Amino acid sequence: MTSKWERWSPLAGVLAVAGMLIGFAITSGNPSTDDADEKITSYYTSHSHQVRGIISFFVFIVGILFLLLFLSALRSRLVAAEGGGGRLAALAYGSGVASAAVWLGSIAFFTAPAVGTNDTGKLHLDPNTFRLTQDAAYELWVSAVIVGAIVVWATSALALRTRVLPRWFGWLGILVGVIQLFAIVFIPVFVYWGWILVAAVLLALRPAGPRPAAVPPAA
């Protein structure tokens, strides 16, 4: 009999998205790299702005922890469906963990100016250093979303092959993964988060059981 934990653990994906989205929203008013030097330096002299960045960092980390729980639950379901060596399940899980690690690096760079200016009070933030950290953070953010496309595609492949998830979700995932490749325009991250939300709910509504029968290939 499926335990309650195994049944509902995929819903960690909902908490993961909530944590990452809230963590990101907290710093939505941060200066951008094309703002004037004076605006950048004055923003980070404010103690409240420094604390806001620190809170954003820890809230986002909480989201990442729940993301790892979701990936673990996803891997368990995919392995049970795939059987054998579970190569696609391993690919989905490994790519998800890699994406999460890169996301951690991204949020660390995004919030580094706030943490640095709050740490000792002796840091005089250089606007160009700020711009460098934010550009590096964005590169890592884009990379995390693109790597996440492998999670989506591997899950889609098994959904289409074994029906561990609905076939329509498998086809949708192919499109979602393609959209993630264009993460440089930022919007694809919301598409990825949306996919995680839907996957989490679908897995919770479809209790783990015996390995589903493979879908026979079309003649």
Q: Taking Cα atoms as reference points, which of 141, 152, 142, 159 lies closest to residue 192?
A: 152
Q: Taking Cα atoms as reference points, which of 6, 30, 17 lies closest to residue 131?
A: 30
Residue 190 above 80 pLDDT? yes
Residue 33: partners with Cβ closer than 8 Å, 6 or more residues away: 130, 131, 134, 135
Q: What is the DSSP string of 134-181?
A: HHHHHHHHHHHHHHHHHHHHHHHHHHHHH-SS-HHHHHHHHHHHHHHT
49-54 average pLDDT score: 92
pLDDT in the model for residue 208: 64
Number of other residues whose CB lies within 10 A of the CB of residue 15: 17
Domain-wise residue ranges, the chain: 4-205
Q: How far is CA 150 from the centre of its chain?
A: 12
pLDDT in the model for residue 130: 93
163-183 average pLDDT score: 96
pLDDT in tens, 112-145: 999 998 887 777 889 999 999 999 999 999 999 9
Q: Taking Cα atoms as reference points, which of 194, 90, 105 lies closest to residue 151?
A: 90
pTM reported for the whole predicted model: 0.88
In the chain, what's the furthest Cα-to-Cα distance?
71
Give me 95's structure tokens.
């790519």
